[in-house]
Every structure is written in C-alpha cells, then in structure tokens.
Chain A
C-alpha cells in the first residue's frame, strides 16, 4: 500500500456561488451611470464628425474601465467596506464574491477596456483611460484614501477624467473645453462627498478612514464645503464669459450654482441635531442633481443646435 493511497484528501476548494448580479454590483453601476453621462457630454461637445459605432465603442470602453476600477476598489477596500453600514452588503464583505475573483475581474476588464479603446479608437484616449483606472485604483484607493483627509479632493481627479477621455476619443487630442468639464467635476467632488461624510461620520470613523469630518471635525468640514462650493460655482460659470459655452449654459449654471450655494450655507449654519443632518443630506442629494443638470444643459444645447436647421 503506497503512501498516496493512505492519504485522505480533506481540502475542500471554495466553489464560487457568485451570480452575474454580484459581478455587476462590483462595477458600481450608479457611479458608472454618471461616468457614462459625463463622458457622453464630453464626446458630443467635441468638434467634428465622430462615427456612431466608434462613439458607442468609446463610451462602452470608458464605462467598462470605470467599472473595472470600481471592482479593484472593492477588492482592496473589502476590509473597510465590511465595517461600514453603507458598504457592508457589497459582494466581497457579504461573502458572495472572493477577493481573488474581484481582483481577476477588475484586472481583466481594465486590460480589455484600455486595449479595445486604444486599438479601435485611438491611443490618446486609451492612455488616458489607463491613467484614470490607475489613478482611481492605485493612487486614490491604495494610497490617498487611508492616508490623508484630502483623499477625495485629489482622488476626485479620477472621477473628473471621463469627459476628457471621451473628448480624446472623438478628436484624438485635448483642448480647453474638456479641461473645463474636468475642473467642474473636480471642484464638485469635495462638497458632494463631504456632505455624505457629514452624515456618515460614524461609519468612516469605525473603518478608520481619515475623511475630513473624522480628522478635522464637522465644523471645519462645513467651512471647506462652503469654500469649495464658491469655487465650484465660479468655475462652472467661467466657460460662459470665456466664450466656450453660451448664455443658456451660463445662466443655468448660475441658477443651479445659487441652489448649491444656498444649501452649502445651510450646512454651514445648521451645526447640531436633526437639522444639521437634514442640511447635509439635502446638499448631497442636490449636488447629484446639480452636476446632472449642468451637463444635461450642455447636451441639450448641442442637440438643439443640430436640430435647428431641420426645424426652420
């Protein structure tokens, strides 16, 4: 009788029970929808003709690239996610997907999205998409998020890049307009995420994530929100007097900016109890509407200008 025959195999390899829905959840579909929308706007305001098949390919690659960085983020942050009520039911902390599966999924999608965009559209866009994924997954997730209270300020650059990638896909180059879109999203990110952090402070503190309210306190965060909102309103309106976007955009931007500013002032003034929480929630909710509306106006302008000759 050999040694091998005596050996009883007791290893029980884990068989994945992850469903398709779990993998879709790894892509952060809600974040992806905003990425798709802002990228679409970056693409339609770009000059010249862009073939619809190439446009579709570009948006698909940008969406998949954004999803891939979301999956890599969930892989690396599984320990943090398990501690926060907002994220505890994500596929990895809930035990539906293993970290290795999420890592393989994220890396595979990153590779295919970048290569497909580079090969089928152009390498300026492909390179920018690779940089975006790297910035979000490595610079933000692995470094900034656990290291500094400025995590979402600097990391916001990753979320602001999709319209730039889309513009590059359409034109093969860069220009001032996509940089303006980048700046709008960049300065929108701090008030948006700090408003969230104000009513999720306990979550972040439990997970030891140095978000601004945890590190500097809620009052310092309220001041920062107000200051960044002032800068945001100015940056968002600037393309109008600079002559890049027209009056319809400029006036809408000022009106929407007024709403953001009023809510940021409300957050600054209401510092205790239920009113403080309600103010932060209102600013968080409105900030999503604000960015969506601002980009929707740009999209609408292009559509109206394109349709005008057909109408009269």
Chain B
C-alpha cells in the first residue's frame, strides 16, 4: 500500500486482466454470485440478507472478498453487459475460474488478491481507478 500526497490510496493486486476503468465502488462484505445474489434484470442485489441487498451493481467496480459456487457467471456478465446493467470492474480477494471466464467474455476488467485490510480502506461510493496493466487500484478524489 502507498499513501500519496493528495491522500489517495494505491493498493496492489495479485493477478489482473482487462482495460483500465474509473468508477465508484460497491464494497461487499461477503461472497457474490450473479445467480445466487443478483436480480439479473435490474442489476440490484436481491438475496435476502446479503450485505449489499438492495444496492445496484450497475456501473460500479465491485469489491468482493470471496466467491460462492455457481457456474452462471460464465455467461451472466456477458448478458448483463448487453442488458446495459453490467458492473464496470470486478476486484476479488479470492476468485474462481468462472468469474475470470465470465469477465473475459464480457471484456470486464477483473483482479484478485486484494487483502482484507485493504478492503477496509475502501468506502462504498468512493471513486477508484482500476488499472489491470499495473495490477493496482488508486482512490480518486
């Protein structure tokens, strides 16, 4: 982690793929699956009791600590993209191959390896720049 003069925060990731994006984050406190947790017609988290229940993923960079099972993400992100309700980026603590396969198909940038302490530094709605080429995210004021 690096603290810079303007108090922006730079956080390192382990593996990353895709184009660079800048968007607000939606920070989840638990695993995420498009099939288990998401209304895939509105882009709103619909699972009863999910820590992000009622919040929209549309146009957000999702910060997700872990994954759940479910092979649905392999198609779901591509479908969400065509419906105009896709997230702009996916940043995981831990992920599974389905998330990577789905993100690559939809050309959504994806990364893993964001540790728990770093996740605590990110506030819901804060803008970040996610640059897979440098495997990093930077908060943007």
A and B are interacting partners = no
Mark B residues whose CB is within 8 Å of A: none
A residues neighboring B (CB under 8 Å): none
